[in-house]
Amino acid sequence: MEYRSDRESIRNIAFIGLGSNKGDKLEYLKKAVSKINEVESNRVVKTSSVYETRPFGIKEQENFFNSVIKLSTGKNFLELFDNLKSIEKEIGRKDSVRWGPREIDLDLLIFNDLIYSDEKVTIPHKGLADRDFVLTPLCEIEGQLVHPALNKKICDICVGVSEKFIIRKLSAKIL
């Protein structure tokens, strides 16, 4: 494997959830993946299918397009988190109500086997185990992945999700 810098000698694996329900949803997802991949020390390893999903939280809004990517990075989790928030703004995300409509949403779902929480970020993502629109694409691209806090395979957690948000899998690709 070629590295862009000495800093990249330490590689981390992160899983990022992507979502959009405003404007050209698919284009927002593609832009996000492209921008993430352009960051020094980042390399998108895998992308899931794109899923059309019902909204989580506020129900009276457009359906979402959701996907998950596997990322190899030389960044630590806080650098990556800040980078993702910068990419959201760069792509055009506007401040809105929690769980409201958004151009792009980038969630750091899992970072190695880290379990961490402060006022800024929680890893693994606190809603991960309750959302089929994250669990299903995660299972699709990394079937043996274990949730660090629950110590269960992601694919096994999918079975227990009570509320279903996924409407359909799209044939569109984001990378």
Task: Look at residue 37 and tell me if it is in a domain.
Answer: yes
The domain spanning residue 49 has which CATH number? 3.30.70.560
Say if residue 7's pLDDT is above 60.
Answer: no
Q: 35 is written with which tokens?
A: 């921008």
| CA angle, residues 66, 75, 90, in degrees to nearest 5 | 50
Task: Look at residue 69 and tell me if it is in a domain.
Answer: yes
Q: How many Å apart are CA 20 and CA 172, to the nearest integer?
A: 14
Q: In terms of C-beta density within 10 A (0-12 exposed, 13-18 middle, 19 or more buried), how is residue 120 classed? A: exposed
Task: Look at residue 175 and tell me if it is in a domain.
Answer: no
Task: Look at residue 162 and tell me if it is in a domain.
Answer: yes
Q: How many Å apart are CA 8 and CA 97, to the nearest integer?
A: 37
pLDDT at 76: 96
| Domain housing 106 | 6-169
Instruction: Give the gyration radius of the chain's Cα atoms.
Output: 15
Q: 136 is written with which tokens?
A: 């299903």
Task: Look at residue 174 and tell me if it is in a domain.
Answer: no
**pTM for the whole structure:** 0.90
pLDDT band at residue 36 under the 50/70/90 scheme: very high
- For the stretch 107-135, pLDDT in tens is 999 999 999 999 999 999 998 998 999 99
Using the CB atoms, write b or e for 133-169: b if 16+ within 10 Å. Answer: bbbbbbbbbbeebbbebeeeebbebbeebeeebbeee
Query: What integer is the mean pLDDT of 87-100?
Result: 79
- 48, 140 in Cβ contact below 8 A? yes
Domain count, the chain: 1
Say if residue 1's pLDDT is above 60.
Answer: no
pLDDT at 3: 37
Task: Look at residue 77 and tell me if it is in a domain.
Answer: yes
Task: Look at residue 127 and tell me if it is in a domain.
Answer: yes
Task: Look at residue 68 and tell me if it is in a domain.
Answer: yes
